Amino acid sequence: MRFRLSAAILICSAAACTSKAPPRVTPMPTPSPQIESAALTLVPLPQHVERATGSFQFTSATMIYAEEPFTASARFLSDLIGLAFGAQPPRVERAVTEPPDGSVVIRRSSPLRAAGGEAYELQISPNRISIVADEPAGAFYGVQTLRQLLPPAFEYEALRAPRRNVPPVPVPAVLIQDSPRFPWRGAMLDVARHFLTIDEVKRYIDLMALHKLNRLHLHLADDQGWRIEIKSRPNLTTYGGSTEVGGGPGGFYTQEQYASIVQYAADRFITIVPEIDMPGHTNAALASYPELNCDGVARPLFTGTEVGFSALCVEKESTYTFIDDIVREIAAITPGPYFHIGGDEVKMLTPPQYQAFIERVQTIVQTRGKQMIGWDEIAPTNLLPSSIIQHWRPKTTPAEAMAKGVKVIMSVASRAYLDMKYDAATPIGLTWAGIVSVKTSYDWDPGTAAEGVPEASVLGVEGPLWSETLANIRDVEHLAFPRLAALAEAAWSAQASRKWEDFRVRLGAQNARWTALGLNFYRSPEIDWK
């Protein structure tokens, strides 16, 4: 989509700005270094950045006026600014027709509807900051862009203490008009191989929101652990959830805890995508319920990292009752439309057994009101047009499924797997899909990444982070950042405006913000960290 603009549009990169429309009648003012640097701090790169003169001054008197349904985004901004200026965060008030000078205004503009619910316009002028959107997600993204133009120190928890006599904080004048390239901008956490606490998952959600990511795929069951309470099958968590890779204590989320993650994510416009991997990667279930095995004998718990040795007994009718219980209970606490069934790396079944299994599970998922997602091994099966393939194997293509009308999430391991090492010296991570430098994760086009998959069939991009070698959230952060920010830009920003040399400068400018957030990011030598 394109926005209609009354003035020249400058598309700014680190190197230069190029005019895309007839020049203004009056010459453009010379940009101040401060404004130049403002455009350089934004990741992902917005669609249009038009520079202006002057700056807005944030002070202790700044108020935020917001109309419903945008007050949640207004409060997010107020919480972010917090006590940086005084005894209380900026007040959030109902929108008024004539907000006083010096305010932030967040309001609805239906002309933006054509640009989609995630589109927004952010205008910063010396007397006002205005964010307009048609839907709450757009307003939230406008706030995230404004956030990246505020001093990084605002992200620092200690700043939430009251301060006095703080000088006004200037925010550079600019007009930004923005909307994403793809609707699916995701990340995946493997909480099965190594468990993450609810607070750790919420921290990842926060980091995703800063980069306008909108899908968090949770890999909730694998050979090493079952992580989501299923009330009708309690052994799955009490026994199957009791360990992890390396023999640690594992853990699981109760349904109430899972619901709290879902809500926390929804408040940040992130949809949770639950995955229960099947028919393989199921040892934790096979250990918990003997009847899921063809020989009726429970398997021992597993804390290693081999793959491909486990499979549900697909010939038993009771296996499908089990799957229906799982899908039913998880679907009931998952407001998002998706249910991921895994389907990868199945070595214990014949191709006809595998195909029949996937098609039957697809019906169960559909009956429980969800759209099925599966890793790209499901491509040859009879998929419904609403089913989605997650493409991960670099040397294959799911092209054969295109005639069925399915959509594809691009997670090609050689680009998007965040658990690959950055270079030979990375102490954690794997290398089976190669070394994935920051540039490698950035410099590709998701629209052409799989032969025979047209851009119109690409739903978006997702960065999976498998946790065989990750012990805790510090490890997670180290492998995810900066590459998750690179994938966020690949998913959000127009391909033609994405340039590695420009990105590495904007990425380098994240140093102060990410440091203030306490993020354990990899200070890649490919980037000039500011």
Q: Which residues does the annotation mark as catalytic?
A: 345
| Shortest reach from residue 393's CB to ligand ACM, in Å | 8
Q: Does 462 bind ligand ACM (CB under 6 A)?
A: no
Q: Which is nearer to ligand ACM, 159 or 450 (CB)?
A: 450
Number of Cβ within 10 Å of residue 496's Cβ equals: 8
Q: Does 291 bind ligand ACM (CB under 6 A)?
A: no
Is-contact 493 500, C-beta < 8 A? no
CA 192 to mean position of chain CA atoms? 19
> What radius of gyration do the chain's Cα atoms show?
24
Which residues, 6+ apart, have CB-to-CB distance to 45 below 8 Å? 13, 489, 492, 493, 497, 498, 502, 503, 506
Q: Does 392 bind ligand ACM (CB under 6 A)?
A: yes
The contact pattern for ligand ACM, residues 142-161, with x = CB under 6 A and - = no contact, is --------------------
| Shortest reach from residue 218's CB to ligand ACM, in Å | 14
Is-contact 515 471, C-beta < 8 A? no
Q: Which is nearer to ligand ACM, 204 or 375 (CB)?
A: 375
Q: Which is nearer to ligand ACM, 140 or 338 (CB)?
A: 338
Q: Which is nearer to ligand ACM, 375 or 444 (CB)?
A: 375
Q: Does 481 bind ligand ACM (CB under 6 A)?
A: no
Q: Does 324 bind ligand ACM (CB under 6 A)?
A: no
Tell me which residue has its CB nearest to ligand ACM. Answer: 344
CA–CA distance, 309 with 108 (Å, rounded to integer): 54
Q: Does 200 bind ligand ACM (CB under 6 A)?
A: no
CA–CA distance, 148 with 131 (Å, rounded to integer): 14
- Three-state SS string across 246-268, please? HHCCCCCECHHHHHHHHHHHHCC
Among residues 141, 264, 375, 442, the one that binds ligand ACM under rule CB under 6 A: 375
| Shortest reach from residue 362's CB to ligand ACM, in Å | 18
Please compute, for residue 468, the number of CA atoms within 13 A of its CA located in the half-sphere on the CB side.
15
Number of residues that bind ligand ACM (CB under 6 A): 4
| Shortest reach from residue 193's CB to ligand ACM, in Å | 11
Name which of 307, 258, 252 is nearest 283 in CA terms: 307
| Shortest reach from residue 156's CB to ligand ACM, in Å | 36
Q: Does 344 bind ligand ACM (CB under 6 A)?
A: yes
Supply φ then ψ for residue 303, to 5 degrees: -125, 15
- Three-state SS string across 270-324, please? CEEEEEEEECCCCHHHHHHCHHHCCCCCCCCCCCCCCCCCCCCCCCCHHHHHHHH
| Shortest reach from residue 430's CB to ligand ACM, in Å | 10
CA distances in angstroms from 495 to 444, 498, 499, 518, listed in the order given: 9, 5, 8, 31
Among residues 67, 291, 325, 345, the one that binds ligand ACM under rule CB under 6 A: 345
| Shortest reach from residue 414's CB to ligand ACM, in Å | 12
Q: Which is nearer to ligand ACM, 92 or 436 (CB)?
A: 436
Considering only the C-alpha atoms of the chain, give the largest distance between any 2 of them, rounded to a whole number of Å.
82
Asked if the bond preceding 180 is cis, omega within 30° of 0, the reply is no
Q: Does 354 bind ligand ACM (CB under 6 A)?
A: no
Q: Does 223 bind ligand ACM (CB under 6 A)?
A: no
Counting every residue, how long is the chain?
Answer: 530
| Shortest reach from residue 375's CB to ligand ACM, in Å | 4
CA 107 to mean position of chain CA atoms? 25
Q: Does 503 bind ligand ACM (CB under 6 A)?
A: no
**Which stretches of the chain bind ligand ACM, using CB under 6 A?**
344-345, 375, 392
